[in-house]
A and B are shown apart, each in its own frame.
Chain A
Amino acid sequence: METADLTHHISRRFNEDLEKVRNQVLQMGGFVEGQLHKAITALVEGDSSLGESVATEDYKVNGMEVAIDEECSRILALRAPAAGDLRVIVAIIKTITDLERIGDEGEKIGYIASRLATMERPADKYREVKHLGRQVAQMVHTALDSFARMDAQAALKTAQEDRMVDEEYESIQRQCMTFMMEDPRSISRALEIMWIVRALERIGDHAKNICEYVIYMVHGKDVRHTSLEDVAKQLDQAATRR
């Protein structure tokens, strides 16, 4: 297993550095997950102060990204890692960018949620948005889990879920348009909702990216811009070759 490789290094310090930066990434991931949950809760429960707190806390995510980025540059410069270790560092550098974007989208959702809290709430209490939010949050969670476990199979499965998120996104979009046509007074709210579901859909894409980095980290295969069916086939081949 790859994690076992991580723990067997000539230089113990190098090992510790890698472990540390990996832990930092997962900590950052945990914080971003929390932000996302809070943002969705703020929307669904109409809690404007919670939404605002999500928006004001986003600077922490940015700080973490910068710190991890620096740490990675330091490792690259000092240790000149090769092969698997290099892939880990590269994957981490890319992952934190996506995590930071997820944080930004969460900030956006929190901000809009605090604005929506002052408006009249729809009868369905944002049921569809809540559902989509849960789905996306789950995706982020399993993506980070597969990162922690170095589990390419789970990463692939999570990446495949992105299609469902896209479908849900489109259906909510259509629904919003119907509302707007039926009742022009709901346009301002529907537009805000559109922003939110758009942000959620983007978060799903970022989670998918993270899954792709996990596959890259474990198998050394760049699976971006490839269809997921091909990726599945490649992974099967890799598994049988072992």
Chain B
Amino acid sequence: MAPMWTFALVRLAGILLLGLFLGLIFGSPWLWVVLAASAYLAWQLSNLYRLDRWLRRRSQLAPPAIGGIWGDIISQVVRLHRRKRFHKQQLVQLFRELRKSTAALPDGVIILSGQREILWFNRPAGRLLGLKRPIDIGLRIDNLIRAPEFAGYLQGEDFSVPLVIRPSIRLDQYLALQLVPYGPGQSLLLARDVTRQMRLEAMRQDFVANASHELRTPLTVISGYLDTLAEDAGLDRAWEGPVRDMRAQAQRMNAIIADLLELSRLESADGEAPREPIDVPAMLERLRTDALSRTEPPRVISLEIATARWLYGAASEVESAFTNLLVNALKYTPVEGSVQMRWWADGDAACFSVIDTGIGIPAEHIPRLTERFYRVDPGRSRDQGGSGLGLAIVKHALQRHGGWLDVESSEGKGSTFTCHFPPQRVYERG
């Protein structure tokens, strides 16, 4: 037991003994003991009262000067209080710093509740999205950002890719909005001004399209003359070889420009591809016949139609994607090898695969295959006369249909290129 408690007990005993002693002197000792005990109780009560008064108005009063156990309790309360105040100050400080730093972020930050109500937003968010404080606190965010795409984005599940919208308050602006869920139901909405990036991207696309277009005219003239020259019977024998080469290269350049134009058309086309019904089995039959008639020497191209499904999409884009895959497969498969096309159902989705027994692709190259002009083996593929844009076109065409390209390959054994089309693009007939 702490010494002061012993002291307090001793004091109580002393007081009671004093009462008993006085009672023995003046008579009726029990009355005196009760008197002494009452006096002690009254004193303790008054101490309790002072403590209570101080605790209630701690900020204005100095702690009461009481000794003994009361003094100890008071000093403990004071210590506790001081420590708490210190922690509180620290927390407030931290909170202020946090708020200052989020407010200083160049991007807009909005804290949303589970019902998508605005709980807090920083200044850039207010500026970018036209939010007003304090009237907008507690309003649902989709009541203020009313673009239909945004409502769709909020209802969706996938927030990994930001949504780009043009806010109604400033139409020349592009904003990227991204939802970051955290905690139970709460989420952060990040808003960033991407006008510059979008403009640069548009400029790049325009440049590619314009440059390709401008190159086409002079090239047409050159190939025209080369065609005439090649058929001219009076041409010097020594020139035949060079003219033939020039003609082949001019044709290749034409193919590259055509691919570039196709690619920039796919890129600049807004949003999703249209939803025309496409008879995929018939299209594949045609592609196979075309390819068979063109390949020299004859090759094995088999076609397996495992599902009668059609697609909703843009026929020209789908056909160009399929053709590119088939041409690629033929290019990298030796004459004795085989190329197989498959149209099959994967659950509700539909897939198109091209399986070849060609040279295959080393694993480290696969993720980069769809980049423009990316070449696994620069010397080899240029000999084959490709534009280097085929797979980029496939990727973009699939993206416009909500699909994706999957590549499996083992070196020396062959590759499988698979186009996946999502269920909402599948046209189930009958």
Contacts and interface: CB of A to CB of B under 8 A. Distances in A.
Interface in A102-147: 134, 137-138, 141, 144-145
Contacts of A3: 138-139
Contacts of A151: 135
Interface string A149-174: 10100000000000000000000000
A30 B169 contact: no
A46 interface: no
A134 B144 contact: no
A96 to B, nearest CB: 14
Interface string A9-31: 00000000000001100110111
Chain B interface mostly: loop
B132 to A, nearest CB: 8
Contacts of A149: 132, 135-136, 139, 144
A37 interface: yes
Contact of B147 (A22, A23, A34, A148): A34
B171 A26 contact: no
Interface in B169-191: 169, 171
Chain A interface mostly: helix
B151 A27 contact: yes
Interface in B122-153: 130, 132, 135-136, 138-140, 142-144, 146-148, 150-151
A33 interface: yes
A37 B171 contact: yes
B138 A148 contact: no
A153 B357 CA distance: 73
Q: Of B132, B146, B148, which is in contact with the most chain A CB atoms at under 10 Å from its CB?
A: B146
Contacts of A29: 146
B139 A148 contact: yes
Contact of B146 (A22, A27, A138): A27
Q: What is the interface residue range for chain A against chain B? A: 20 to 34
B146 A26 contact: yes
Nearest to B130: A145
Interface residues of B, number: 19
Nearest to B116: A23
Contacts of B142: 23, 26-27, 30
B169 A141 contact: yes
Contacts of B132: 149
Contact of B148 (A22, A27, A144, A148): A27
B168 interface: yes
A148 B117 CA distance: 12
A23 B140 contact: yes
A23 B148 CA distance: 12
B136 A37 contact: no
A137 B170 CA distance: 11
A127 to B, nearest CB: 15
Contacts of B136: 149
B148 A30 contact: yes
Nearest to B143: A148
A30 B151 contact: yes
Contact of A30 (B135, B147, B166): B147
B375 to A, nearest CB: 37
B393 to A, nearest CB: 23
Contacts of B148: 27, 30-31, 34
Q: Of B140, B148, B168, which is in contact with the most chain A CB atoms at under 10 Å from its CB?
A: B168
A22 B168 CA distance: 20
A70 B168 CA distance: 29
B113 to A, nearest CB: 13
Contacts of A23: 140, 142-143
Nearest to B168: A141
Contacts of B140: 23
Given A3-B139, A27-B151, A30-B151, A148 B144 contact: yes
Nearest to B136: A149
Nearest to A149: B135
A26 B146 CA distance: 7
30 contacts: A22-B143, A23-B140, A23-B142, A23-B143, A26-B143, A26-B146, A27-B142, A27-B148, A27-B151, A30-B147, A30-B151, A31-B148, A33-B146, A33-B147, A34-B147, A34-B148, A37-B166, A37-B171, A134-B171, A137-B168, A137-B171, A138-B168, A138-B169, A141-B168, A144-B146, A145-B144, A149-B132, A149-B135, A149-B136, A151-B135
Interface of A: 3, 22-23, 26-27, 29-31, 33-34, 37, 134, 137-138, 141, 144-145, 148-149, 151
Given A23-B140, A27-B148, 4 more contacts: A26-B142, A37-B166, A145-B144, A148-B139
